[in-house]
């Protein structure tokens, strides 16, 4: 599909900027449970301090700095086509020209645009331990019938409330991603491949979700192959979508510019118009 640049941000008048990003912390389930865990450690502190289990050292001067151990797909992040497609030159199964499209090549204009928030019912049927309930094509068509068709330039955001229900510190946070992948707890609601085909047909170039992934806990590949294969950008693990109206907000995701990245974490936010009193 051709990626169309988003319309420039109109003058929204009075507006609130809403943060739509997950907080990264070692005690939170911000990393994909089968990938490298997220860690942050103090490298230099103002003075030598702490105990033998967690010493703090003043190596380089009177200031504090930390180093991060972070997977590309940690917290709120974007998927690039290279995440699921090998480069064409490799000759591997599924190799495709889009496999050369890495995260630093995704235009920032593709990651901004009018937000269209699709509310997914909490009682969506089909969920079971290790299984995600499906957001199907018919649900998106029903949304269009009520709220208008999706269009090129729209950023379609799936509000499942998964962040509100499961993004918790400690063992309670296992329900966010670890439990579903291990088959112990139900998975997050996720679109299937046919639902993604509808969005591709409409020319949508950026789709977001507050679920742990755009793909389901039991079959993550299909929707990625359809969407990323059409060069749609997936912004995953969003938060706080309930602060946005169905239409009327303006979305932006700013990823780290990682060379050859299959994805990158970043900050998602939106301008939400506010009404003046009187």
Are 115 and 257 spatial neighbours (Cβ–Cβ below 8 Å)?
Answer: no
Helix-then-strand count for the chain, H and E: 5, 12
Q: What is the SS3 assignment for 221? A: helix
Query: What architecture is the 15-36+71-273 domain classified under in CATH?
Result: 3-Layer(bba) Sandwich (3.50)
**pLDDT of amino acid 278:** 41
Among residues 117, 130, 132, the alpha carbon closest in space to that of 211 is found at: 132
**pLDDT of amino acid 37:** 96
Are 131 and 188 spatial neighbours (Cβ–Cβ below 8 Å)?
Answer: no
Task: Report the Cα 7 to chain-centroid distance in Å.
Answer: 22
- To the nearest whole number, what is the mean pLDDT of the chain? 94
Among residues 219, 211, 128, 134, the alpha carbon closest in space to that of 176 is found at: 211
**pLDDT of amino acid 3:** 44
The least confident of 96-105, 163-172, 226-235, 267-276 is: 267-276
Q: How far apart are the first and last CA of the chain?
A: 45
Write the pLDDT tens digit of every residue in 4-35. 444 555 555 788 999 999 999 999 999 999 99
Q: How far is CA 47 from CA 16, 51, 63, in A?
A: 40, 13, 8
Residue 138 has pLDDT above 50, yes or no: yes
What residue segments make up the domains of the chain, in order of their start? 15-36+71-273, 38-70
pTM to 2 decimals? 0.93
Are 83 and 228 spatial neighbours (Cβ–Cβ below 8 Å)?
Answer: yes
Percent of the chain at pLDDT exceeding 90: 90
**74 Cβ contact partners less than 8 Å away, ≥ 6 residues apart:** 24, 30, 31, 32, 35, 38, 265
Residue with tokens 């996720």: 190
């Amino acid at each position: 599909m051709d990626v169309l640049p988003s319309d420039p941000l109109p003058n929204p008048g009075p507006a609130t900027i809403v943060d739509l990003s997950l907080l990264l912390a070692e005690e939170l389930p911000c990393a994909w449970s089968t990938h490298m865990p997220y860690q942050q450690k103090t490298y230099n502190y103002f003075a030598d301090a702490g105990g033998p289990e967690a010493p703090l050292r003043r190596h380089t001067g009177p200031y504090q700095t930390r180093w991060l151990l972070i997977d590309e797909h940690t917290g709120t992040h974007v998927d690039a086509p290279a995440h699921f497609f090998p480069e064409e030159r490799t000759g591997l199964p599924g190799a495709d020209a889009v496999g050369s499209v890495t995260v630093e090549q995704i235009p920032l204009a593709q990651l901004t645009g009018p937000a269209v928030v699709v509310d997914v019912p909490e009682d969506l049927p089909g969920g079971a331990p290790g299984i995600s309930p499906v957001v199907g094509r018919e649900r998106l068509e029903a949304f269009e019938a009520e709220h208008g068709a999706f269009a090129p330039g729209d950023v379609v955001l799936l509000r499942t409330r998964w962040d509100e229900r499961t993004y918790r510190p400690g063992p309670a946070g296992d329900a966010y991603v670890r439990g579903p992948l291990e088959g112990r707890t139900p998975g997050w609601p996720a679109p299937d491949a046919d639902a993604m085909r509808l969005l591709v047909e409409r020319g949508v170039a950026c789709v977001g979700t507050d679920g742990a992934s755009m793909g389901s806990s039991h079959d993550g590949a299909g929707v990625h192959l359809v969407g990323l294969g059409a060069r749609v950008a997936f912004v995953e693990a969003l938060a706080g979508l309930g602060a946005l109206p169905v239409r009327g907000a303006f979305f932006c995701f700013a990823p780290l510019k990682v060379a050859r990245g299959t994805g990158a974490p970043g900050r998602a936010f939106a301008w939400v118009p506010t009404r003046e009193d009187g």
